[in-house]
Structure 1
Amino acid sequence: MRIGIIGATGNAGAAIFKEAQQRGHEVVAIVRNAAKAKTQLGEYISVIEKDAFSLVLTDLQDFDVIVDAFATSPDQAYLHVDLATKLVAFFREKKTRLFFILGAASLLNEQDERNLNKLKKIPGSESWIAIPENQADEYIFLQTVKNVDWVGVSPGNVFQEGEAVPAILGKDHLLFNDQQKSITSSGTLAKAIVDEIEAQQHHNTRFTVIDG
């Protein structure tokens, strides 16, 4: 498949790029800095060097799959929602499949309350809470979208760089492993996403994955 990854130099994006490339897919890094991408991912990779908000439909229309691994600072966290709406607008009634990496804020606890409520109570959360808030809003928006083939993917409470390990998968509830940890390594997330790209088991819904 031809896969475009927006934000391919971030922790998630780079891991997904490498995993998809290793499996023989045609992968393109969609980044603001091509030199950085080639240093990080390989000199001969395919690159589209553009800001995500400068992309036009002709840049993206030939991809089978586009992965939105966009990241930004808390003061511009609203851009998560803006980019999702831009991509959805491009691909209404089209075959391209969209993957959105969502945070853990929209996941539910055992009482079916959003995890965002707990995150807000963490001391010092004021400095970063805008990102999970807006990723939760992004998921709320995606749930209204019926004529685009989209998939949302949520990690656990902690997302960190690391190799893939056996995973635990779920749907809408925050997961914990046998050690009561809710951690997702970038390699584990990447493997789960490329597995889904190949198997196509989820449509217009979200799933979650953590390290087992």
Structure 2
Amino acid sequence: MKIGIIGATGKAGQEIYREAVRRGEEPVALVRSADRAREILGKDVNVVEKDAFELTAEDIASYDAVVNAFATSPDQAHLHTDLSRQLKEAAGEETPRLVFILGAGSLANPATGEPFIKVLREIPDAAAWINVPEEQFKQLDYLRTVGTVNWVGISPQATFPAEGPATTPKLGKDELLTASDGESHTTAGTMAVAILDELQNPAHRNTRFTVSDA
């Protein structure tokens, strides 16, 4: 399976790339800097140097799936939805399958039934970064209107650390989950495992699910 990974040098993207290699798939790093990709993923990385916002239908037509692990600064957070729109316009009805890493803010707090974004807004330093989860919430709202391409969204838990062991993914739908330690978290490695599991054995279509560490 040929898998294009937007943001392959980021915390989630590099784990997805490595997990795809481990499983014998054909990942391609779709990045702005090939040199940085080689520095992070090794000199033999399969890389295409191109800005994600310049990807066309022709560029992605040969991929079985495109994973959007794009990250941005809070002041540019609106680009999450912008890129989703662009990929939707470029994708065919069935291929490539589009995979979007979303935020946790849209997940419901099981204790209250309210979106977790309400808790995030109350954190003392939220003003510095809240635009990202706010815009990822809007990104999910947009994707839920899209029925013309094959897409799936995946949300991590309350914390999404880059480091930590990959575990057997624990899956849910629209609520925050907790790991065996009672905390809500998903490592980038566990996210990568969940994405490759979904790509190799599709179980979700045009919907969002969530993944937690075991």
TM-score w.r.t. the length of structure 1 is 0.97
Q: What residue in structure 1 maps to residue 114 of structure 2?
A: 113
The correspondence of residues 124-139 of structure 1 with structure 2, limited to 5 A, is 124-139=125-140
Instruction: Count the aligned residue pairs.
Output: 212
- Give the deviation of 1:163 after TM superposition: 2.3
Identity %: 49
Q: What residue in structure 2 maps to residue 99 of structure 1?
A: 99
- Give the deviation of 1:93 after TM superposition: 2.3
Question: d(CA) in 1 for partners of 2:124 and 2:118?
Answer: 13
Question: d(CA) in 2 for partners of 1:53 and 1:165?
Answer: 33
Amino acid at match of 2:137: A
Q: What residue in structure 1 maps to residue 169 of structure 2?
A: 167
- Give the deviation of 1:32 after TM superposition: 0.6
Where 2:108 maps in the other structure, the secondary structure is: coil
Question: d(CA) in 2 for partners of 1:11 and 1:83?
Answer: 19
- Give the deviation of 1:92 after TM superposition: 4.7
- Is 1:211–2:213 an aligned residue pair? yes
Q: What residue in structure 2 maps to residue 151 of structure 1?
A: 152
Where 1:195 maps in the other structure, the secondary structure is: helix
- Structure 1 pair 178–26 and aligned structure 2 pair: CA distance change class (3 A): closer
Question: d(CA) in 2 for partners of 1:140 and 1:101?
Answer: 14
Question: d(CA) in 2 for partners of 1:173 and 1:22?
Answer: 30
TM-score w.r.t. the length of structure 2 is 0.96
Amino acid at match of 1:36: R
Question: d(CA) in 2 for partners of 1:129 and 1:28?
Answer: 31
Question: d(CA) in 1 for partners of 2:179 and 2:186?
Answer: 11
Where 1:160 maps in the other structure, the secondary structure is: coil
Question: d(CA) in 2 for partners of 1:154 and 1:98?
Answer: 14
**Could you list the per-position Cα deviations for residues 148-202 of structure 1 after superposition, in whole angstroms to 9, with x for gaps in the alignment?**
1100000001001222023321011011124320011111110011000000011
**Could you list the per-position Cα deviations for residues 19-38 of structure 1 after superposition, in whole angstroms to 9, with x for gaps in the alignment?**
01110101100001101101
**Could you list the per-position Cα deviations for residues 4-52 of structure 1 after superposition, in whole angstroms to 9, with x for gaps in the alignment?**
0000000000000000111010110000110110111121221110111
Q: Does structure 1 conserve the Cα–Cα contact (< 8 Å) formed by 2:169 and 2:211?
A: yes
Higher strand share: 1
Where 1:53 maps in the other structure, the secondary structure is: helix
Where 2:27 maps in the other structure, the secondary structure is: strand
Larger deviation, residues 107-116 vs 185-194: 107-116
Amino acid at match of 1:96: P
Question: d(CA) in 1 for partners of 2:100 and 2:116?
Answer: 18
Question: d(CA) in 2 for partners of 1:148 and 1:125?
Answer: 34
- Give the deviation of 1:94 after TM superposition: 3.8
Where 2:165 maps in the other structure, the secondary structure is: coil
Where 1:209 maps in the other structure, the secondary structure is: strand
Question: d(CA) in 1 for partners of 2:156 and 2:142?
Answer: 19
Q: What residue in structure 2 maps to residue 185 of structure 1?
A: 187
Amino acid at match of 1:185: T
Gaps of 5+ in 1: none
Where 1:107 maps in the other structure, the secondary structure is: coil
Where 1:159 maps in the other structure, the secondary structure is: coil
Larger deviation, residues 193-202 vs 106-115: 106-115
Where 1:152 maps in the other structure, the secondary structure is: strand
- Report the RMSD for the aligned CA atoms in angstroms: 1.0
- Give the deviation of 1:116 after TM superposition: 0.6
Where 1:200 maps in the other structure, the secondary structure is: coil
The correspondence of residues 22-61 of structure 1 with structure 2, limited to 5 A, is 22-61=22-61
